[in-house]
Amino acid sequence: MKQVQLSCSLLLLMFVTFYSCTNSATAPSPKASSPTSSKPLVPALPDSPDSSDSAPDDIGRILKKAKTFRVLTRLLKSTEIMSNINSQLMTAKSGGLTIFAPDDNAFAQLKAGFLNSLNQGQKIELLQFHILPQYVSSSNFDSLSNPVQTVAGEDPTKLPLNVMAYGNSVNISTGVVNATIDGLVYSDTNLAIYRVNKVLLPLDFFVKSKAPAPAPVEAESPIADKKSSAEDQENQDKSAALSLLSIQGTALMSIAVGFVVVAMI
């Protein structure tokens, strides 16, 4: 009887051991938690060129592959800003650039003849107003401090540019227009190009400079007026006296001539 109990105990122990080994071998190992990455605020456009097949130092090639930036490309070439950007990207070691690129539809919304009314300097300022002298990734717009400095300058009264991130949208205000960033055109470690739905018009174009105020006319003092009046009266008295002497001299001369004529007779 004892042998039977011992055999049962051994069998039970073997079964428990086997079951424990089987569970430990088949149980799934816990997955390592992956670090959470910040979600991009601006989605990539479906027709945006890939950074692997576009030269980061050739803005023209990038915009050409994106297909909808013909007007912007023409302006960048005619003002030579495109070559300046390409040169900067080739030589810059850090910092980078961010470009807000209005597409052809955005330029079509401008008033007819607006671009032709701008001189070369204004066209350069308009394009520089669309460029930030820093690289901003699609998930870092909410970290910018307003007003944001552009290549056009940092005067907040003439060139204000405010970037506001709300949820999954990024809006830009210039004091003249309110635009929205609706897609990422291109991005690498040194350059980011974003499509905007409106041309960013600087406030400087629409604020007329105030004409300088005329210099105040100095009022003459009463003493000076009295002195001037006295001098004028004195001059008039002298003129009257001279006239009287002239008349008297003429009369005496006439009388003397009369006496001479009588004496001769």
More confident call, 139 vs 237: 139
Local confidence band at 156 (pLDDT 50, 70, 90 cut-offs): confident
CB atoms within 10 A of CB 59: 28
Which stretches of 157-260 are assigned E, i.e. beta strand?
A: 162-166, 169-173, 178-187, 191-196
Q: What is the mean pLDDT of residues 210-219?
A: 55
Q: In what order do the strands lie in the sheet with 178-187?
A: 131-132, 97-102, 191-196, 178-187, 169-173, 162-166
Lowest mean pLDDT, pick from 1-15, 23-37, 99-113, 179-193: 23-37
Q: What is the pLDDT of residue 207?
A: 80
Return the pLDDT at 214.
Answer: 59
pLDDT band at 256, cuts 50/70/90? very low
34-87 confidence digits (pLDDT tens) = 344 456 666 676 665 655 555 556 899 999 999 899 999 999 999 999 999 998
* Contact assessment for residue 146 and residue 163, using Cβ atoms and an 8 Å cutoff: yes
pLDDT computed for residue 154 by the predictor = 85
Crossing angle for the helix pair 59-66 and 81-91, nearest 10 degrees?
110
Q: How far is CA 218 from CA 114, 215, 221, in A?
A: 45, 9, 9
Res 137: pLDDT: 93
pTM, 2 dp? 0.64
Query: Does position 167 have pLDDT exceeding 50, yes or no?
Result: yes
> Greater confidence, 123 or 18?
123
Is 128:85 a contact under the CB 8 Å cutoff?
A: no
Q: What is the mean pLDDT of residues 200-218?
A: 72
Determine the average pLDDT of the residues in 136-148.
93
